Amino acid sequence: MQIFIECLSFENLSFEKMDSEPNMRDLVLANIISPAKPSGETCVQLVESEKNPFGHAIVNTRNDTVSDPQDLVNLARQIEACDAFVRANVSNRLQVIVNQMNYLREEAQRTLMKAHRDDELNHCACNLVRRPGQIYYQYERQSGQKYLSIMHPQDWLSNAKNTGCPHRFLGAYRLEYDNSWTRQATDFDEGLDDPLNELKQQKANDLKQNQKMLEFLIKS
């Protein structure tokens, strides 16, 4: 199964990499907003006037309203301000959508990677009946075969010969009741791969718990 979340398309609007803010050129091409006009070219539309409003003839249509010439300038400035706010609102909302899509893409990739890892562990060589809640340690032989064992890397150092583990240690995992696996931290994790950042996240959670416990002890 492959999931590709590559781009968001809305007519002519597209974010291929979804790693940059939506620019105004894309918004204009998508006909979402009108193109910005150069300074001094703001078009002001006025209400059409009638020569005979309600059947009454007006002698001079130019003097049928009381207005200040500065009103047109103020109206143009107001229209420019409205255009700027519309552009900013559209850009900000689209940026929120792009950020959400980036997060969903990362979560999809993380889910697929974890599913692949769990499937590999479920099919890994093991001479024991695996039980949920038990921690198993994965090793790799020189032949390339990977297997699961209940022996901690420290247990190999406790034997009579004290020769250490004869095989390469790959990591510790706890079997959950839904047949998924959770990475467990050990003192032998230095230099091991952690593509899902489980060890880093686990250390951060342990640090937060220790801080909360310390604060509780200080208050008590």
Rounded distance between C-alpha atoms, residue 107 and residue 112, angstroms: 9
Provide φ and ψ at 110, rounded to 5°.
Answer: -65, -40
Give residues with Cβ within 8 angstroms of 177, minimum separation 6.
132, 133
Name the helix (H) or strand (E) containing 183: strand 181-184
Q: Quick one: DSSP state of residue 88?
A: H
Q: What is the pLDDT of residues 130-150, one digit of tens each?
A: 999 999 999 999 999 999 999
Q: What is the pLDDT of residues 4-27, one digit of tens each?
A: 333 334 344 444 445 545 555 555
Domain boundaries, the chain: 1-37+67-123, 135-219
Q: What is the pLDDT of residues 54-96, one digit of tens each?
A: 666 666 655 555 566 677 778 888 888 888 888 888 888 999 9
What residues pair up with 175 in beta bridges, in sequence order?
181
Beta strands of 3-105 (E only): which ranges? 8-10, 13-15
- Structural Rg of the chain based on CA atoms: 34
